Structure 1
Amino acid sequence: MTEIAESTQLLRTAALAADDKLGTDQVALDVSATVYITDAFLIITAENDRQIDSIVDAVEEGLQTTHGRTPLRREGRGSGSWVLLDFGDIVVHVFSAEQREYYALERLWKDCPVIDLELPEHAENSGAESSDAENASSDAR
């Protein structure tokens, strides 16, 4: 498996764990061509301090259980507005909405490709929306 493929698997595991804790607006960026110390960033928004902690715990547990990985470094725990988890190949950022807007990492790294996280929720929502549209069309007939 190539390094970026392995990093993508780590990202997807982390994203699923965050999704289970209702983390929103998840974006994964391939920074491997720009940053030499990591392959990718995963950026997640949480509604409040408790949800940030819950997402961080879920991401750590998911990566430990599935991939045997623990963070090399953890910053911001207890600050309530932004936690950074450095797993080496990937760095996970969990922000409050205000802090995410303030730091604007997506704008800072706008030239980096976005990695498709392939979250099942998105596929289910797309299918549900098209099913609802089809049902509405059928009802209209």
Structure 2
Amino acid sequence: MTITPNELLNMAVAAAEDKKAMNLVALDLKGISLVADYFVICHGNSDTQVQAIATEIRKRVHDAGVSVKLEGMDAARWVLMDLGDVVVHIFHRDEREYYNIERLWSDAKVVENV
């Protein structure tokens, strides 16, 4: 079964929301970046919450047959998940404010209703 980038985006967003990810934003990078079609950016208020969000996303996409490349899980300050067409950034609250990557991708459109 092949999953479309949009379905993968929705799956990642739903998993993050189920773990109470904060200030979740999805950016449409099509035509802007060759890295991915979408970025999902969110944060947790503790290391444990950051890890829980990442674990839930990994579980759901893995169950759907999608391979996941994962960085930063041990420190849980900025977890980067490469799902192929979707890249997920899960920050600890303090790091999100510091890095403010939404500003770096300000040309991207925010995806509504994900």
Common topology (TM > 0.5): yes
Q: Which residue of 2 aligns with 1:14?
A: 12
Q: Which has the higher contact order (CA 8 A, sep 6+)?
A: 2
1:33 is aligned, of 5, 12, 31, to 31
Alignment: residue pair count: 112
Q: TM-score with structure 2 length normalisation?
A: 0.91
Larger Rg: 1
Q: Which residue of 1 aligns with 2:96?
A: 100
2:45 is aligned, of 28, 44, 47, to 47
Deviations 1:71-93, CA, capped at 9 Å, x for gaps: 1x211111121100001101000
Deviations 1:105-134, CA, capped at 9 Å, x for gaps: 11111110111243xxxxxxxxxxxxxxxx
Contact 1:28 1:117 in 2 (8 A): no
Q: TM-score with structure 1 length normalisation?
A: 0.74
Q: Between the two proteins, what is the percent identity of the paired residues?
A: 36
1:75 and 1:6 map into 2 onto residues whose CA distance is 23
Q: Give the aligned CA root-mean-square deviation in angstroms.
A: 1.4
**Structure 1 gaps, min length 5:** 119-141
Moved segments of 4+, more than 4 Å = none
Contact 1:12 1:117 in 2 (8 A): no
